[in-house]
Amino acid sequence: MASAMEQLYQQVILDHSRLRSGERSLEHPHGESFQVNPTCGDECRVQVRVTERRLTELGWTGKGCSISQASLSVMHEMLEGESFDDAEELGELFRELMRSRGAELEPADQQQLEDLSAFTGVAKYPARIKCALLGWMALRDAMLQAQHD
Protein backbone atom coordinates (compact mmCIF):
# COMPACT_ATOMS: atom_id res chain seq x y z
CA MET A 1 0.00 0.00 0.00
CA ALA A 2 1.21 3.47 -0.82
CA SER A 3 2.43 5.46 2.17
CA ALA A 4 0.57 8.62 3.20
CA MET A 5 3.26 10.62 1.51
CA GLU A 6 2.93 8.71 -1.74
CA GLN A 7 -0.82 9.32 -1.57
CA LEU A 8 -0.03 13.00 -1.08
CA TYR A 9 2.24 13.23 -4.10
CA GLN A 10 0.02 11.54 -6.68
CA GLN A 11 1.51 11.46 -10.17
CA VAL A 12 -1.26 13.83 -11.32
CA ILE A 13 0.01 16.40 -8.83
CA LEU A 14 3.67 16.01 -9.76
CA ASP A 15 2.75 16.22 -13.46
CA HIS A 16 0.59 19.32 -13.05
CA SER A 17 3.23 21.06 -10.92
CA ARG A 18 5.47 20.88 -13.99
CA LEU A 19 2.76 21.37 -16.64
CA ARG A 20 1.48 24.61 -15.07
CA SER A 21 -1.57 24.81 -17.31
CA GLY A 22 -2.90 28.35 -17.66
CA GLU A 23 0.17 30.10 -16.25
CA ARG A 24 0.01 33.50 -17.91
CA SER A 25 -1.03 37.09 -17.33
CA LEU A 26 -4.24 38.29 -18.96
CA GLU A 27 -4.68 41.62 -20.74
CA HIS A 28 -7.44 43.72 -19.18
CA PRO A 29 -8.82 41.18 -16.69
CA HIS A 30 -12.32 41.83 -15.33
CA GLY A 31 -11.26 40.51 -11.95
CA GLU A 32 -8.02 39.56 -10.29
CA SER A 33 -6.80 38.57 -6.86
CA PHE A 34 -3.40 38.23 -5.23
CA GLN A 35 -3.09 35.79 -2.33
CA VAL A 36 -0.20 34.94 -0.03
CA ASN A 37 0.35 31.94 2.20
CA PRO A 38 1.86 33.64 5.25
CA THR A 39 3.63 30.52 6.55
CA CYS A 40 5.90 30.12 3.53
CA GLY A 41 5.49 33.35 1.58
CA ASP A 42 4.07 31.49 -1.41
CA GLU A 43 1.97 33.71 -3.60
CA CYS A 44 -0.35 33.57 -6.58
CA ARG A 45 -2.31 35.95 -8.74
CA VAL A 46 -5.44 34.70 -10.49
CA GLN A 47 -7.01 36.77 -13.25
CA VAL A 48 -10.31 36.22 -15.00
CA ARG A 49 -12.08 37.58 -18.05
CA VAL A 50 -15.80 37.11 -17.93
CA THR A 51 -18.74 37.11 -20.32
CA GLU A 52 -22.24 36.65 -18.90
CA ARG A 53 -21.10 34.94 -15.71
CA ARG A 54 -18.79 32.61 -17.58
CA LEU A 55 -14.99 32.37 -17.13
CA THR A 56 -14.00 32.90 -20.73
CA GLU A 57 -10.36 33.25 -19.72
CA LEU A 58 -8.56 32.22 -16.56
CA GLY A 59 -4.86 32.92 -16.08
CA TRP A 60 -2.55 32.63 -13.10
CA THR A 61 0.98 33.41 -12.05
CA GLY A 62 2.65 32.36 -8.86
CA LYS A 63 5.45 30.70 -7.04
CA GLY A 64 5.04 27.94 -4.57
CA CYS A 65 5.22 24.27 -3.73
CA SER A 66 4.11 21.43 -5.97
CA ILE A 67 0.75 21.22 -4.21
CA SER A 68 -0.16 24.89 -4.70
CA GLN A 69 1.09 25.04 -8.28
CA ALA A 70 -0.59 21.78 -9.30
CA SER A 71 -3.85 22.95 -7.75
CA LEU A 72 -3.75 26.12 -9.90
CA SER A 73 -2.94 24.10 -13.00
CA VAL A 74 -5.84 21.67 -12.48
CA MET A 75 -8.13 24.58 -11.65
CA HIS A 76 -7.32 26.17 -14.99
CA GLU A 77 -7.90 22.95 -16.93
CA MET A 78 -11.23 22.29 -15.30
CA LEU A 79 -12.70 25.78 -15.15
CA GLU A 80 -11.64 27.90 -18.09
CA GLY A 81 -14.74 28.35 -20.22
CA GLU A 82 -17.07 27.21 -17.45
CA SER A 83 -19.86 29.15 -15.75
CA PHE A 84 -19.57 30.92 -12.41
CA ASP A 85 -22.06 28.46 -10.96
CA ASP A 86 -19.95 25.49 -12.01
CA ALA A 87 -16.82 27.16 -10.66
CA GLU A 88 -18.46 27.88 -7.33
CA GLU A 89 -19.82 24.36 -7.09
CA LEU A 90 -16.45 22.75 -7.87
CA GLY A 91 -14.66 25.11 -5.47
CA GLU A 92 -17.08 24.19 -2.69
CA LEU A 93 -16.58 20.49 -3.39
CA PHE A 94 -12.81 20.91 -3.33
CA ARG A 95 -12.97 22.78 -0.01
CA GLU A 96 -15.11 19.94 1.34
CA LEU A 97 -12.46 17.47 0.21
CA MET A 98 -9.81 19.50 2.02
CA ARG A 99 -11.87 19.30 5.21
CA SER A 100 -12.23 15.52 4.95
CA ARG A 101 -8.93 14.60 6.66
CA GLY A 102 -8.00 12.33 3.80
CA ALA A 103 -11.28 10.41 3.44
CA GLU A 104 -12.88 10.25 0.00
CA LEU A 105 -16.19 12.03 -0.61
CA GLU A 106 -19.30 10.27 -1.96
CA PRO A 107 -18.47 8.43 -5.22
CA ALA A 108 -20.47 10.88 -7.35
CA ASP A 109 -18.68 13.84 -5.77
CA GLN A 110 -15.30 12.18 -6.04
CA GLN A 111 -15.99 11.61 -9.75
CA GLN A 112 -17.02 15.20 -10.27
CA LEU A 113 -13.65 16.28 -8.85
CA GLU A 114 -11.85 14.56 -11.75
CA ASP A 115 -8.10 15.36 -11.43
CA LEU A 116 -8.77 17.24 -8.20
CA SER A 117 -9.49 13.89 -6.56
CA ALA A 118 -5.73 13.36 -6.64
CA PHE A 119 -5.56 15.93 -3.81
CA THR A 120 -7.46 13.66 -1.40
CA GLY A 121 -4.23 12.76 0.44
CA VAL A 122 -3.39 16.44 1.00
CA ALA A 123 -6.16 16.70 3.58
CA LYS A 124 -4.23 14.36 5.88
CA TYR A 125 -1.58 17.06 6.30
CA PRO A 126 -3.12 20.14 7.96
CA ALA A 127 -0.10 22.28 7.08
CA ARG A 128 -0.57 21.58 3.36
CA ILE A 129 -4.30 22.29 3.00
CA LYS A 130 -3.57 26.01 2.72
CA CYS A 131 -1.22 25.23 -0.18
CA ALA A 132 -3.97 23.41 -2.07
CA LEU A 133 -6.56 26.13 -1.41
CA LEU A 134 -4.42 29.20 -2.13
CA GLY A 135 -5.38 29.41 -5.83
CA TRP A 136 -9.01 28.70 -5.09
CA MET A 137 -9.16 31.57 -2.60
CA ALA A 138 -7.77 33.80 -5.31
CA LEU A 139 -10.29 32.53 -7.87
CA ARG A 140 -13.25 33.12 -5.61
CA ASP A 141 -12.03 36.65 -4.90
CA ALA A 142 -11.31 37.36 -8.58
CA MET A 143 -14.82 36.23 -9.52
CA LEU A 144 -16.27 38.56 -6.88
CA GLN A 145 -14.24 41.46 -8.30
CA ALA A 146 -15.47 40.65 -11.80
CA GLN A 147 -19.09 40.65 -10.63
CA HIS A 148 -18.70 44.08 -9.10
CA ASP A 149 -17.38 45.55 -12.32
Partner 1 sequence: MSELLDVSGDFPLLGRTVREGKRLVYLDTGATAQKPTAVLDAERGFNERHNAAVHRGAHQVAEEATEAYESARAALAQFVGADFGEIVWTKNATEALNLVAYAFLNATLGLGGAEANGFRLREGDEIVVTELEHHANLVPWQQLAAKTGAVLRWIPATADGRLDTEQLDVIGEKTRIVAFTHASNVTGAITDVAPIVERAKRNGAMTVLDACQSAAHLPVDFHALGLDFAAFSGHKMLGPTGVGALYGRAALLEQMPPFITGGSMVEIVTMEETTFLPPPQRFEAGTQMVAQTVGLHAALDYLSDIGMERLAAHEDQLTALLLEGIASVPQVRVLGPTDTRDRLAVVAFEVDGVHPHDVGQVLDDQGLAVRVGHHCAQPTHRSFGVHASTRASAGVYTGAADVEAFIAGLHRVIDFFGVGA
Give the residues lining the site for partner 1 (CB under 8 A).
Answer: 3-5, 8-9, 14, 39-43, 63-67, 125, 128, 131
Which residues are CB-neighbours of 6 under 8 A, at least 6 positions away?
none
Q: Would you give the distance in Å from CA 37 to the centre of its chain?
A: 14
- Nearest approach, Cβ of residue 127 and partner 1 (Å): 8
Which residues are CB-neighbours of 66 under 8 A, at least 6 positions away?
9, 13, 14, 17
In the bound state with partner 1, the residue whose beta carbon lies nearer, of 1 and 108, is 1
In the bound state with partner 1, the residue whose beta carbon lies nearer, of 9 and 94, is 9
- Nearest approach, Cβ of residue 36 and partner 1 (Å): 10
In the bound state with partner 1, the residue whose beta carbon lies nearer, of 31 and 62, is 62
Phi, psi (rounded to 5 degrees) for 130: -60, -35
In the bound state with partner 1, the residue whose beta carbon lies nearer, of 35 and 57, is 35
- Nearest approach, Cβ of residue 101 and partner 1 (Å): 16
- Nearest approach, Cβ of residue 60 and partner 1 (Å): 16
To 5 degrees, how large is the angle CA 8–CA 12–CA 15?
110
* Rounded-to-10 torsion of CA 119, 120, 124, 126: 50
- Nearest approach, Cβ of residue 26 and partner 1 (Å): 23
**How many other β-carbons are positioned within 10 Å of the β-carbon of residue 67?**
24
In the bound state with partner 1, the residue whose beta carbon lies nearer, of 116 and 131, is 131
